């Protein structure tokens, strides 16, 4: 089997091959999506990483997942729904196959403007949409595998990798109908972020495109008449900052009633709206208030109800706790189905009458309840996990802590890990685990006992994590702080939070503060040292995207904007490297195909030019995330013991031991 990391753009990045009967451990960050595929490419499983380790057992008993429905004809398959014909592509052109007969559809394709799929057939098989693409520049990255297992000599690895500012593929939809090409009016979608999705109306008379303009500040739902090729604007979203197209887009087409369920932050909070598909008129908000929709689980067109997840809907609870709800299309009868003070995961019975609700907090073991799906009423508590024996042995759950952010008004939520032998009369260095990627919120909310940060705390540290402004799942204004401003990374909020924590927990020593993170967190960790060196004294920066021009295009243009401006250079850790003070360990895997390893090496070059002292660990054979390995984890821990305790982590002559257990 092949393990793939799925980028939010949809690209599948190959990681490791796993033989039948083998087990494999993959380092990941919470929220990353992974897929297991058979040799023929069929997916066996797709799963999203949580904040704690999970086990996936692939036993082959579950049917392979089907590809997503493409709206009437299956994107990319090429064959019409009635099976009578097929559109294929050869020599840059489109070809129609009917049995053994082959007819050119186009003849003007070239390397600089070629025809391609996917192919989206109308339900009646009379029409199809495919694409004519002006290709981008096809940037490639080259990395060297210094120590391959199957040979002595190194290997060169090359892969496609688009970066911010690159010329990207420019696909334009092409409409074929009854043997002729119909010119499509593309005035409403002139500069698309590359997307090749089409949704046909059941009557085959029109189709819908969702246009995301490069720069992610304009999104449109456009309906195209299949007879004339004329385009009509249905929904338009505009913003001066960004539309979170990778995480906050719901578009559910209700063809029987000609309506669209649409997700938007136009009110300042992430909510659902009902639009008239014919006129584009907003019929009504479906949800509203100072809370956010976190996702849609089910749209019941017959009952005109939506089942969704929400955050902040219980005002007295942590706003990041996920709760399950139901609401009618007209916005009435909002029913909060879960109540317990914690973050929830719900599974529904096959008949839809019952729900199994499991909730927990970092300081509350899981509680499992059976509830009625009709109104969320409690039928019975099935199980309440008991951690008393664990606590009796000295284990401590993380402590939840809330304090005001930079504005003195906004609540910032975080957690603190204390060592089991914590003495409140003594002072302890602090280590912040940072990941300020705007695509989500990152502080763990559910109960777990296996956490690297607790292991780190046992070395004599207080380890903390908080979500500052610029991260997601709060208001739009909270999120917008990151726009063209990734270097901010919420530091003013988290530093204020830490100072407040030190007031409540005097054993926190703010004169000895370290910070570590990986990927975007690696960028943040080093950025903390460069921009807040008076506060942070030591940092471990792993696999960081230290210059947002060096990292993948979809993630960085989403938050830093397009076209590229001076702010990219001004916020680069390479540019800021001469500001380094304190102790720094840079870590990177030589085979990182997520964040270009050259991003770390460019920081190394800048630090050398500035005559700065630092440590560098390059790990052969390792991809994205080196402190997820036993050796990398030990090096991180040793670094902080030496830097913040000014002590050797082991007695003289004692053998190094990894931290696997």
- The secondary structure of residue 374, as a DSSP letter, is T
Which of 295, 208, 218, 293 is CA-nearest to residue 259?
A: 208
Task: Say if CB 520 and CB 482 are below 8 A apart.
Answer: no
pLDDT of amino acid 17: 66
Strands of 315-398, DSSP E:
322-328, 335-336, 343-348, 354-361, 364-372, 378-384
* Cβ-count burial 491-502 (b if 16+ within 10 Å, e if not): bbbbbbbbebbb
pLDDT at 195: 85
Burial of 333 (0-12, 13-18, 19+ CB in 10 A): exposed
Q: What is the pLDDT of residue 111?
A: 97
Query: For residue 643, which phi and psi values (nearest 5 degrees)?
Result: -80, -40
**Residue 504 to residue 401: CA distance in whole angstroms:** 10
Instruction: Taking residues 35-62, report their average pLDDT.
Output: 67
- Which neighbouring-strand residues pair with 6? 12, 33
Q: Taking 80 as the threshold, does the pLDDT of residue 22 lie above it? A: no
DSSP symbol at 238: E
Check pLDDT > 70 for residue 67: no
Neighbouring CB atoms inside 10 A of 78's CB total 22
Cβ atoms of residues 423 and 230 within 8 Å: no
**Please, which pLDDT band fits residue 657 given cuts at 50, 70 and 90?**
low
What does the pLDDT read at residue 50? Answer: 60
Question: What is the distance between the alpha carbons of residues 512 and 535, in angstroms, rounded to a whole number?
Answer: 8
> In this structure, what are the phi and psi dihedrals at residue 15, rounded to the nearest 5 degrees?
-115, -70
The span from the CA of 46 to the CA of 50, in Å, is 13
146-158 pLDDT, tens digit per residue, is 999 999 999 999 9
pLDDT band at 235 (very low <50, low <70, confident <90, very high): very high
Chain position carrying tokens 């385009």: 231
Name the strand (E) or helix (H) holding 467: strand 462-467
Whether the CB-CB separation of 577 and 607 falls below 8 Å is answered with: yes
Phi, psi of 300, rounded to the nearest 5 degrees: -100, 95
pLDDT at 589 over 90: yes
Label residue 35 by pLDDT band (50, 70, 90): confident
pLDDT (tens digit, 9 = 90+) per residue, 426-468? 999 999 999 999 999 999 999 999 899 999 999 999 999 999 9
State the DSSP string of 7-49. Answer: -TTSPEEEEEE--TT--------TT-EEEEE-TTS-EEEEEE-
Could you tell me if 143 and 157 are in contact, meaning their C-beta atoms sit under 8 angstroms apart? yes
Mean pLDDT of 138-146: 96
Strands (E), 468-605: 508-518, 538-542, 583-589
In the CATH scheme, what architecture does the domain 394-644 have?
3-Layer(aba) Sandwich (3.40)
Closest residue by Cα to residue 270 from 484, 472, 438, 445:
472
Q: What is the pTM of this model?
A: 0.89
Local structure of 92: helix, strand or coil: coil
Q: What percent of the chain has pLDDT over 90?
A: 85
DSSP 3-state helix, strand, coil percentages of the chain (rounded to 5)? 15, 35, 50
- Using only C-alpha atoms, what is the Rg of the chain? 26
Rounded mean pLDDT of 538-554?
98
**DSSP state string for 176-211:** EETTEEE----TT-SSBPS----EE-TTSSEEEEEE
Q: Residue 29 in contact with residue 41, Cβ under 8 Å?
A: no
- Name the region of 133 (left: φ>0; alpha: ψ -120 to 50; beta: rest): beta
What mean pLDDT do residues 370-378 have?
A: 98
Q: What is the mean pLDDT of residues 40-51?
A: 68
Q: Is the pLDDT of residue 33 over 90?
A: no
User: What confidence category does residue 68 fall into, taking pLDDT thresholds of 50, 70 and 90?
Assistant: very low
DSSP 51: S
Checking if the pLDDT of 384 tops 90, the result is yes
CA distance 610 to 579: 9
Distance CA 586, CA 614 (A): 8
Place of tokens 């780190």: 456
Residue 57 is predicted with a pLDDT of 72
Per-residue model confidence (pLDDT) at position 70: 37
Output the average pLDDT for the chain. 93
Residue 10's CB is within 10 A of a number of other CB atoms, namely: 11
Q: What is the pLDDT of residues 286-336, one digit of tens each?
A: 999 999 999 999 999 999 999 999 999 999 999 999 999 999 999 999 999
Domain ranges across the chain = 2-48, 394-644
Distance CA 154, CA 490 (A): 41
CA 571 to CA 311: how far, in whole Å? 32
Q: What is the mean pLDDT of residues 247-265?
A: 97
Q: For 10-24, 99-113, 184-198, 230-244, which range has the lowest pLDDT when averaged over its residues? A: 10-24
548 has a pLDDT exceeding 90: yes
Distance of alpha carbon 641 from alpha carbon 400, whole angstroms: 25
Burial of 561 (0-12, 13-18, 19+ CB in 10 A): buried
Provide the 10 A C-beta neighbour count for residue 41.
10
Sign of CA dihedral 654, 659, 660, 661: positive
CA distance 270 to 309: 12
For residue 76, name the pLDDT band (cuts at 50, 70, 90).
Answer: very low
Q: Which residues pair with 442 in a beta bridge?
A: none
User: Would you state the pLDDT for residue 72?
Assistant: 42
């Amino acid at each position: 089997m092949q393990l793939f990391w799925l980028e939010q753009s949809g690209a599948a990045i190959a990681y490791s091959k796993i033989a039948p009967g083998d087990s494999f451990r993959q380092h990941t960050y919470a929220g990353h999506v992974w897929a297991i595929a058979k040799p023929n490419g069929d997916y066996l499983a797709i799963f999203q990483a949580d904040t704690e380790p999970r086990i996936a057992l692939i036993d082959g008993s579950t049917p392979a997942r089907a590809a997503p429905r493409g709206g009437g004809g299956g994107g990319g398959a090429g064959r019409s729904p009635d099976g009578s014909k097929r559109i294929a592509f050869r020599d840059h052109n489109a070809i129609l196959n009917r049995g053994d007969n082959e007819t050119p559809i186009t003849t003007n394709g070239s390397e600089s403007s070629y025809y391609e799929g996917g192919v989206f057939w109308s339900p009646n098989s009379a029409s199809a949409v495919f694409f004519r693409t002006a290709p981008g520049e096809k940037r490639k990255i080259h990395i060297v595998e210094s120590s391959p297992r199957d040979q002595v000599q190194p290997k060169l690895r090359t892969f496609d990798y688009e970066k911010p500012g690159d010329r990207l593929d420019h696909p334009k939809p092409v409409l074929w109908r009854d043997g002729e090409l119909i010119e499509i009016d593309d005035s409403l979608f002139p500069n698309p972020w590359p997307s090749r999705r089409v949704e046909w109306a059941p009557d085959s008379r029109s189709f819908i495109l969702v246009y995301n303009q490069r720069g992610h500040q304009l999104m449109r739902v456009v309906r195209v008449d299949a007879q004339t090729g004329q385009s009509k604007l249905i929904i338009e979203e505009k913003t001066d900052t960004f539309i979170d197209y990778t995480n906050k887009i719901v578009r559910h087409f209700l063809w029987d009633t000609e309506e669209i369920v649409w997700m938007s932050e136009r009110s300042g909070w992430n909510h659902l709206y009902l639009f008239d598909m014919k006129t584009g008129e907003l019929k009504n908000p479906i949800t509203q208030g100072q809370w956010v929709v976190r996702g849609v689980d089910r749209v019941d067109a017959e009952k005109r109800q939506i089942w969704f997840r929400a955050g902040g809907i219980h005002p007295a609870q942590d706003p990041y706790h996920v709760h399950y709800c139901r609401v009618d299309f007209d916005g009435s009868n909002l029913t909060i189905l879960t109540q317990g003070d914690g973050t929830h995961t719900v599974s529904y019975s096959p008949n839809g009458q019952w729900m199994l609700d499991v909730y927990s907090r970092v300081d509350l073991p899981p509680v499992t309840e059976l509830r009625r799906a009709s109104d969320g009423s409690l039928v019975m508590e099935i199980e309440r996990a008991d951690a008393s024996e664990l606590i009796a042995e000295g284990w401590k759950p993380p402590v939840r802590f809330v304090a005001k952010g930079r504005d003195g008004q906004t609540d910032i939520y975080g957690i603190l890990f204390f060592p089991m032998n914590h003495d409140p009369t003594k002072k302890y260095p602090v280590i912040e685990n940072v990941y300020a990627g705007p695509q989500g919120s990152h502080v763990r909310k559910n109960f777990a006992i296996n956490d690297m940060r607790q292991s780190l705390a046992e070395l004599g540290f207080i380890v903390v994590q908080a979500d500052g402004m610029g991260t997601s799942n709060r208001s739009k204004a909270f999120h917008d702080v990151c726009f063209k401003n990734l270097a901010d990374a919420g530091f003013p909020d988290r530093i204020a939070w830490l100072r407040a924590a030190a007031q409540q927990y005097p054993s926190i020593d703010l004169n000895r503060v370290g910070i570590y993170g990986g990927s975007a967190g690696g960028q943040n960790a080093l950025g903390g040292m460069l921009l807040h060196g008076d506060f942070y004294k030591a940092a471990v920066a792993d696999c960081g995207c230290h210059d947002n021009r060096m990292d993948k295009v979809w993630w960085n243009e989403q938050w830093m904007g397009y076209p590229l401006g001076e702010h990219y250079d001004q916020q680069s850790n390479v540019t800021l490297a001469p500001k380094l003070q304190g102790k720094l360990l840079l870590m990177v895997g030589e085979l990182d195909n997520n964040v270009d390893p050259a991003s770390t090496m460019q920081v190394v070059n800048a630090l050398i030019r500035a005559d700065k002292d630092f440590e560098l660990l390059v790990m052969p054979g390792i991809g994205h995330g080196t402190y997820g390995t036993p050796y990398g984890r030990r090096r991180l821990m040793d670094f902080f013991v030496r830097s913040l305790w000014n002590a050797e982590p082991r007695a003289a002559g004692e053998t190094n031991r990894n931290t696997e257990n």
